Structure 1
Amino acid sequence: MAEFEEAASRVLPADVRDFVAGGSGAETTLDANRSAFDRVFLVPRVLRDVSACRTDATLLGRPVSMPVAVAPVAYQRLLHPDGELAVARAARTAGVPFTVSTMSSVPVEELTALGGSVWFQLYWLRDAERSLEQVRRAEEAGCEAIVLTVDVPWMGRRLRDVRNRFTLPGQVTAVHLTGGGAPSPGSVAHRRPGDEVSAVAEHTRQSFSAALGWPTVAALRERTRLPLVLKGVLAPEDAVHAAESGVDALVVSNHGGRQLDGAVPGIDMLEQVAGAVAGRCQVLVDSGVRSGTDVLRALALGADGVLVGRPVMWGLAAAGESGAARVLELLAEELRDALGLSGCAGVADAARLATVWRVPAR
């Protein structure tokens, strides 16, 4: 899958590539996300019948072809004219959920109309009623889950975007937030920013609520009939609170290294979080997943599944729908290979695999 990133780099403008690839601060957490996965070694079992090795699983009560969902990524028309439409079609073909962002450049109704499984990622806005309008819209469109992102009171300081003075082209906008003073072509997300900020970061600061708390989670749980997922949990104490609040799943995540630089990699906290919730809700993980072996590592450490973002975006940039579809196809092939070679006939067997952590040399 790394080859898709190379192919995408050849066709994308440098500032757009940096917008997708970059992290916050010195990108310490961004780099650690990948190295953390590489520290996890699996202990394969032998003499197991894997002649009918299967990758299918269940996420949020629904069958999926593999324990993977496409992570929410904003403004996908930056990468390809078809944007979210292409990725949603690829996810439908792959048999996995597609998570549409609040900051999508394609309306949710067009995405659910494609017939696949669609989750709606929600950023809580300063105007709470507008946030609830997004929930109602997602429900009416036929989304199958609400994924509330809880680690973005404001956007982390992403120095690549600051240095590039990154701004959105006029034809790309957050279509769910147009009107009512929200961003539209010519608004803050499209204006050339000052030297110390990107236009997208400034838009986020003005739009998102920094006061999101547990009472809002409880109220949202009461408000929606859909499964509720909290994305951006790292502390086991927060995971326990989430489970006690009645959420259906949580995503152990540091936002792909794009929020607090220095935050712990999600894979490092996975076992503790899974142990803390003790089966009261499903546990997913993202930030650094780059292969089928990574998916197996996550399953062995207690995850029910993973979210994958950047690799799918590189596939989209390189070859549109076919590129995104091929990334997901490769992920399924690699996962089946990893399962079989570790002695697992299916996803459920992965939870019984032992792991060994390699301590980095000092």
Structure 2
Amino acid sequence: MATVPRVPLGSHGFEVSAQGLGCMGMSAFYGPPKPDEEMIDLIHKAVEHGVTLLDTSDMYGPYTNEVLVGKAIKGIREKVQLCTKFAFIVDKEKGIGIRGDPEHVRAACEGSLKRLDVDSIDLYYQHRVDSKVPIEITVGELKKLVEEGKVKYIGLSEASAADIRRAHAIHPITAVQIEYSLWARDVEEDIIPTCQELGIGIISYSPLGRGFFSGKNITEFTDNDFRKNHPRFLSENFQANQKFYNKLVKLGQEKNCTPGQLALAWVQHKGAVPIPGTTKLKNLEENIGSLKIKLTPEEIKALEDAVPVEEVKGDRYADMSKTWRFNSSPPLDTWTGTKH
């Protein structure tokens, strides 16, 4: 039944499915958690179709999504490429923080291994860069986890080109996970060229614009769906942005595919591995169908012209401070070993 080809992720021998499955929405952020049994069945269906790159994080829930994924891969561990992340901490009094100090790196990894019920994590990302800890210190501890066999490959998420270079100098970075889609293309300026130069793979999260390009409407969001307060989905911005979706609908009709499939095909033609999330089998199958779509250079340009990024209304986060553009690692010579 497998229909999804495998591709190298980066240049260090790690092979993954050409499209992955983002598991976050099964447990958090996009409305109430979905029933475990249904989501486990969906993950099994994905793996049967060849979607074997599974993406989670200790932040999702927090913790509950890793437990779910751990249950789902029981008995099929050798068939999947398991990716999780660390760095976010949730404190009821202080709110959400970021830690990249060695003590937290190790404790977070041990926690993830336990929740996932595995001996090793295939790809372990620093979810966000810690502005208090030099990235060399964080990656130095990750390197020890690789040497101990607890982690196979190291990744970064929402890291700047400068931080990617610094991290890569300590230990090879296999992949950078970044928001990359038709309406999030600023990473093409510096981050993607840097990764290409260093042989680092690109994982595209939110390749469908958090559901925008697959036709998600703001009226569908439940009260605990974080998109209700997402800048690009706020009423006035959403109405202005709708013209981009309408253009994709028209282009999709010409290619006999859905606008969501076109959006995914664009990401895939750019050389990135997208990890669209879904909780429905029909959406999973539609996403997989995008891999069959061939785009000419002219069609790629037409898609980019249909979504001129400078005209998109709203930032990609309500709080942009924890993204690569506004958050960076301090110089190594500032590190004194102080704990958070």
TM range (shorter): 0.3 to 0.5
TM-score under structure 2 length normalisation = 0.39
TM-score under structure 1 length normalisation = 0.37
